Amino acid sequence: MVERKLISGNYAIAEAAIRAGCRFFAGYPITPSSEIAERMAELLPKYDGIFIQMEDEIASMGAVIGASLTGAKALTATSGPGFSLKQENLGFAIMGEIPVVVVNVQRGGPSTGLPTFPGQQDLMQTRWGRHGDQELIVFTPDSVQEAYELTIRSFNLAEKYRTPVVLLGDEVVSQMKEQIEIPEEVEIIDREFPTVAPEEYYPFDGSKGLVPPLAPYGKGYRFHITGLTHDKTGFPTSDPKIVRKQLERKLNKIRKNRDDIVEVEEFLLDNAEYAIFALGSVARAAKQAVIDLREERIPIGLLRPITLWPFCDKEVTNLAKKVKNIFVVEMNYGQIVGEVERFAKRYTDVDWFGRADGRLIPPREIKSFIKEKIQ
């Protein structure tokens, strides 16, 4: 039986986190994500979970890392300025292969920027906000329904691939209310625990697969976690053979499972001669623009990345081979257009349209831009 509920995006994220098995939240209030913390503070005690309001975003990220290492599914939520503060500890979680979920509800920037207005200015920060070679899974919902579903998927893939996952929303999707359907059953994935004796356990031993089992602290498995390059025991090493082997395993556990991770929506692309590439709340406006342009007999469709990173390179390449032009629309001054051009430019034209003034891009502006380009 399906339950229907009228709910905001932020509340949907909180309730989906509980459904996914999250039992620990640490965060610091910041608009437009504060309702996630508010709802988690209400829900977690009912499920024997723990809610902590930390002194800042740096400490919040450290707390969820520590909770995850004890075996808990852990969540933190923030917006742009707080996400900037989380970068160092997020890099530590990537190096330590620690499964956590980080929600970033985007707002305008840089710095304090536009606290209660929408933006999409963190797209490249989620990919390259930390130093060093790395892969990171990032999902971006365009509706409250998808915010619910992708929260569960974020926890599942964090556990499956032993990695941090970012749910990258925006102010519109998080603050709006929509009716969603909550299924009676959902797939829940838990991390793999070691089956060997504690004295035989190595936390970074990739000899049997790209994702080693992760033992919880406090259960008899004594091991080391560090941000330094390390060997299979977790203790630091600078041996180039070991460093290369460990780094390539961390990269390949995402890259070699790309098809399991990457998800897109294709809207009216079967016979399209033109295409829009947009994500999040902008994709909602773009979808209406597609419908309106179709009524004017302009054969256009929409490619929407649900997984932002890893990037949907195959899908963009295949689309570029079929259409005359791809129009990239985003609420910033040109972040994701470079990725689209990287894979599409050799096959078709790519044009960009966007802005970052705290206001949504309405369908009429997208329509006008496209008609001006093609007529």
Q: Each residue of 86-110: pLDDT tens digit?
A: 999 999 999 999 999 999 999 999 9
The CA distance from 260 to 120, in Å, is 25
Q: What domains can be seen in the chain, in order of their start residue?
A: 3-182 (3.40.50.970), 265-374 (3.40.50.920)
* 12-41 average pLDDT score: 98
> CA angle at residue 55 from 53 to 58, to 5 degrees?
105
- The model's pLDDT over 273-291, given as tens digits with 9 standing for 90+, comes to 999 999 999 999 999 999 9
Total H helices, total E strands in the chain: 13, 14
d(CA 5, CA 168): 23
Dist. CA 343–CA 319, nearest whole Å = 10
Contacting residues for 359 by C-beta, under 8 A, at least 6 apart? 117, 118
d(CA 133, CA 199): 31
Closest by CA position to 332, among listed 354, 352, 351:
354
Q: What is the pLDDT at residue 2? A: 84
Supply the pLDDT for residue 75: 98
Predicted pLDDT of residue 310:
98
Q: What contacts 126, CB < 8 A, 6 or more positions away?
A: 104, 136, 138, 166, 168, 308, 309
Structure tokens at 141: 């919902």
